[in-house]
Chain A
Amino acid sequence: MTEQVSARRILLAPLDPVHDVGLKLIAKALDERGHHTVLLSPDVTAEEVINTALEHDVDTLLVSRTIGYGVDKALGRLVDLAEASGLRDRARLVVGGMAIKPEFVAELGFDAAFGPGTEVERAVAYVEERPYIPQADRAQKEKRDITAGYDYRFHHQAIADLLDQIVDMILDEAQGKTSPGVQRTRLRDEMLTVQHQQAQGGISASQAEETQRTLRLAYSQHCEELITAFYAGGRMPPRTRTLTGSEVANLIAQVNQIKGQWASPRLQHVAGQPLIFVQYGTGCPAMDVLHMKVAEGWGADGIIHFDPSWEARSEGLIEGYVAHHESGTLVTFENLKLMKDALEPATIYQVRAHRGLNTSEMALLAGHAGADMTKVNIIYGSLCGGTDPERLMVDGIEVLRIAARFGMSIDVPANEELSGVPAYKTFASMLIGAKLALRLGARPVLQPLLCYAPDVMIGGQMADNYVDFNAAKFWALQRIVQAPIWPGAPVGFFTHTEDRVQSAVTTALHTALTASLGAGMVIIASVDEAYAGGPIAATSRIDALRAVQEVFRFFGHATIQPTPQAELWADELVDNIEGQLRRVAQAESFTYCLYNDVLATRREGAHPGRFGQGTVTEA
């Protein structure tokens, strides 16, 4: 606060036998701002309060009341005495405290009332007769580049060398190859370029329409029947529908009323605590937008789009504002733009493209819609996501090029752990993806899962606690490369239950651990996400965000200390990662590793996908 106001004279009086901490805090704040305060001790009578106020010729009387019984009588009499004595003509009467309800202000004749939880600064602003600017507003959130400050320097030279060899192998193998996904991506790029040109006035509407028609026709020829039917005759895929014009208009109007009206509060209590991301994908883009506005309002720093798995397995994407009657929201330019335009400027927006037959087009749409991040993991998508390895290799490289082109950072999720693949193998795969991204000019983010993975359930590494092995994972990666590490997705996966309190606590504690380890961001679950069975309730998101906010407050700069076992596991992980990469580098090809149990085995839960098999062709 830098404004200068004239010094006020304020009497602060607790109308309770004991409670006065609120007034003490306010008095301190007022004193620091140069005002003249008189703070009465507790257990004073109304007469003493009024008399003291008159003696000191105050211009504001702040009284507090914590005890609920008799509050109406005590306060009503105080107001009457204030008027009878003439104080009312000279001073403003303000009441606050645990016993105060807003209705009392009008009923009892006070000029203002501050209920439980009122910020000290709000009371100070009132005394100074200026608008109250919440703390969050005074330090507006700014969008951060989550890869800033990382130079991607490899500390482990042997691993770095192996990764280079593997990346060379991948790029050689993919050289000169294309797929329907890549071809559709190029056509979609042209379509969006034409759309943009038309909007800018560069081409006429009729010219644009003609070009789009040609491009759509070419596009649909690379699609499967489900999607071709959309472009040919407007037939919507099952369990989807287009939002009506009025639905979209109403949503936009509603968002415009609230956008920019508040400053999203900070969840972080001290600098250095990670940014918090939440996931969305109810199926309905309108509900998604409103859910995400709620999440922003409760402090979320970033959001992640979830699409339905069937969309990832269909050649081609449809267009328009499309609602899906199941979980997962379709990736269309319109849906993504709707969300992007609704978000506050500081909110980071990610669209996933980590598996399936439309990965490159999804990344492209994300880029055109203004997303900040996308996601791809060629190995996970091939071995646990159902996509043919060769196909995803080709499409995944395209994703990385698109990410680089649009300046989107790209995370490489180590999701294979969820299927049972050991951590060291998933991390080896993740590092391959990261090195490939770097080679193609993108800025990768490592996304280890701090989870209670199947392999760990069997191996027992988390029998005692969830701290050590997760810390080991983090440290192992840090020992290998200086890169952003973003635990997800969500953190604490497989530790959540239907018990909402348990769910909130495990999310909060895992988040505290990531903060302790130095992560820059983390993805959290909603408290009903593990067993939602459908759209996630906005209130459940709020519960999770509040739990995280509280744990940040609890820990501040304090940290969680793993046991010495974590160091041993970290060393072991690094060694095993190196060994795994060595095996990959010595293989005849990258896709050989995917098809033949090198990167992960079928027994471990890795099954080379079949969607898109045989669709890679020479460019």
Chain B
Amino acid sequence: MGKTTATRALLEAAYRVGLSVGLTGIGYDGEALDNLTGLPKPRLPVEPGMLVATARRCLNAASAVLHPVADTGVATPMGEVVVARVAEPGLVVIVGPRTGRDVRQITHLMGQLGGQLILVDGALNRMIPLMETDGLILSTGAARTTDVGLLAAETGASNAMFRLPVLEGDGGKQPQTCITLTRHEGPPRQLSIGSLLVPSTVDQLCSFADQDTCQIIVPGALSISCLSLLWQRLESHLADVVLVMADPLRLLISGEPPVVQKSLSQIPKGRLQVLRQLPLIAITVNPFYPRYRWRTRDYRPAYVDAVLLQERITEAVDVPVIDVKRQGGDALLGLVSKLLWPESGHYPWSGC
């Protein structure tokens, strides 16, 4: 909701200060009309010198002039993703990597090609590949729901997941594929499964757990109902067991955020951890939403109270909340810089 607006604002701000910027995305962006509503979408403008990673077939669809500089071998339904440098300014269509592994490969490549700040635009209802980035900007707004109170609660619930503690020790550094039960003494037990998606998998896990179990690492996907069920089973038998999920995004997709938050609230602080965290840099808000008109059966632009929206969400979270339409991308860029270049305190810009 408004992610393209935020991406665009950040692009413009970064370019203004002379940062070498790379742009890609995990969805399909840059098309003129929204796939669902048919309303015009803000498109992504690029400037000379920027790097763009997109499907080869999209190079000619751009109004910007793009010169390919590297192949990636990453396949998409619209062809291989290539990294191109912008020769002449214009708009681009991004069809980028679809998996986290591919995101990692491409952002690494763009970094090697000189990109100092790589923006990975999100996609409709998908998040997991973004775990392979260094920081997340969560975009929300009235397009998700016009109930500002509900939106604030939901955003707060999402925020909470990015505050879960990271498991200390080596356990979090090793690649995990199977559910692992660490014990106070003795070798850990491993299941043949990596995810908790249906109740039978919880049964399977519980049959492996005993009084000696101190940690349960679930590296794969899980459903919130399975998490709740597991906690109910464990709570009464294993007083100090710690549940470890792979990362906050796996929790975020396990169910609707308020439902997830409610389940998490039943787990004492510190008893739910993650193997990896992803810094939540900021939350951007967008008061725009497509209003459906029954009479004409089409969508029209509409807006909620922008100030109220920003205030309510600010109250619900502990990260900066920015309305990029009103405040621009500079504030966002400042926050990104603090994360990426904490020692210098600002971005390594190439300006005079």
Contacts and interface: CB of A to CB of B under 8 A. Distances in A.
A48 B124 contact: no
Contacts of B124: 72, 76, 107-108
B31 to A, nearest CB: 7
Given A72-B36, A106-B76, A107-B28, A85 B129 contact: no
A51 B197 contact: yes
A85 B197 contact: yes
Contact of B221 (A50, A107, A109, A111): A50
Interface in B41-91: 55, 76-78
- Count chain A CB atoms within 10 A of each CB in B101, B123, B127, B246 and give the residue with the most: B123
Contacts of A51: 195, 197-198, 201
A110 interface: yes
Contacts of B55: 106
A83 B223 contact: no
B195 A108 contact: no
Contact of A79 (B78, B126, B250): B126
A106 B100 contact: no
A106 B78 CA distance: 7
A83 B246 CA distance: 12
B129 A83 contact: yes
Contacts of B201: 51
Interface string A64-85: 0000000011011101110111
A503 B77 CA distance: 42
A109 B95 CA distance: 10
Given A47-B223, A80-B126, A103-B35, A109 B26 contact: yes
A112 B77 CA distance: 7
A103 B28 contact: yes
A84 B221 contact: yes
A86 B194 contact: yes
A247 B310 CA distance: 63
Contacts of A75: 125
A104 interface: yes
A112 B28 CA distance: 14
B194 A81 contact: no
Given A73-B125, A77-B253, A113-B77, A83 B99 contact: yes
Contact of B246 (A84, A112, A113): A84
Nearest to A68: B36
Contacts of A553: none
A236 to B, nearest CB: 43
Nearest to A88: B99
Contacts of B31: 103
User: A48, A73, A79, A112 — which one has the most chain B CB atoms within 10 A of its CB?
Assistant: A79
Contacts of B26: 109
A54 interface: yes
B195 A84 contact: yes
A109 B198 contact: no
B193 interface: yes
Given A86-B220, A103-B35, A76 B126 contact: yes
Contact of B77 (A72, A76, A111): A111
Interface in B1-48: 26-28, 31, 35-36
A104 B78 CA distance: 12
Nearest to A112: B77
Contact of B128 (A84, A103, A107, A111): A84
Identify which of B95, B98, B223, B226 gathers the most chain A CB atoms within 10 Å of its CB.
B98
Interface in B150-192: 177
A28 interface: no
Interface in B117-139: 123-129
Contact of A109 (B98, B195, B226): B98
**A86, A88, A109: most-surrounded residue (chain B CB, <10 A):** A109
Interface string B235-252: 000000000001001100
Contacts of B125: 72-73, 75-77, 80, 108
A143 interface: no
Nearest to A70: B125
Given A50-B197, A81-B197, A81-B253, A106 B126 contact: no
A524 B202 CA distance: 67
B220 A80 contact: no
Nearest to B201: A51
A327 to B, nearest CB: 40
Interface string B142-156: 000000000000000
Contacts of B99: 83, 88-89, 109
Interface string A111-126: 1110000000000000
A105 interface: yes
B28 A50 contact: no
A153 interface: no
Contacts of B76: 106
A85 B127 CA distance: 13
Contact of B35 (A45, A73, A107): A107
A107 B77 contact: no
A435 B311 CA distance: 95
Contact of A48 (B193, B198, B246): B198
Q: Which residue, A47, A54, A72, A75, has most C-beta atoms of chain B within 10 A? A: A47
A142 to B, nearest CB: 36
Contacts of A86: 177, 194-195, 220
Contacts of A85: 194-195, 197, 220-221
B28 to A, nearest CB: 4
A144 interface: no
A101 interface: yes
A106 B97 CA distance: 9
Contacts of A54: 193-195, 197
Nearest to A53: B197
B144 to A, nearest CB: 11
B270 to A, nearest CB: 23
A29 B125 CA distance: 33
Most B CB atoms within 10 A — which of A72, A85, A88?
A85
A76 B123 contact: yes
Given A48-B197, A110-B77, A80 B27 contact: no
Contacts of A48: 197-198
Contacts of B197: 47-48, 50-51, 54, 81, 85
A105 B77 contact: yes
Q: Which of A72, A83, A88, A101 has the most CB of B within 10 A?
A: A83
A48 B126 CA distance: 19
Name the residue among A54, A72, A84, A86 with the largest chain B CB count within 10 angstroms.
A84
Contacts of B195: 50-51, 54, 84-86
Contacts of A107: 27-28, 35, 123-124
Interface in B273-330: none
Contacts of A76: 123-126
Contacts of B198: 47-48, 51
Contacts of B78: 106
Nearest to A102: B77
A38 B221 CA distance: 21
A48 B100 CA distance: 23
A114 to B, nearest CB: 12
11 contacts: A47-B198, A48-B197, A51-B198, A54-B197, A79-B98, A80-B249, A85-B220, A106-B27, A107-B124, A109-B98, A112-B77
Smallest CB-CB A-B distances: 5 pairs: A76-B125, A106-B28, A84-B221, A47-B197, A85-B221
Given A48-B197, A76-B124, 16 more contacts: A47-B223, A54-B197, A72-B36, A73-B125, A80-B127, A84-B246, A86-B220, A88-B99, A89-B101, A103-B28, A103-B31, A107-B28, A108-B126, A109-B129, A111-B77, A113-B77
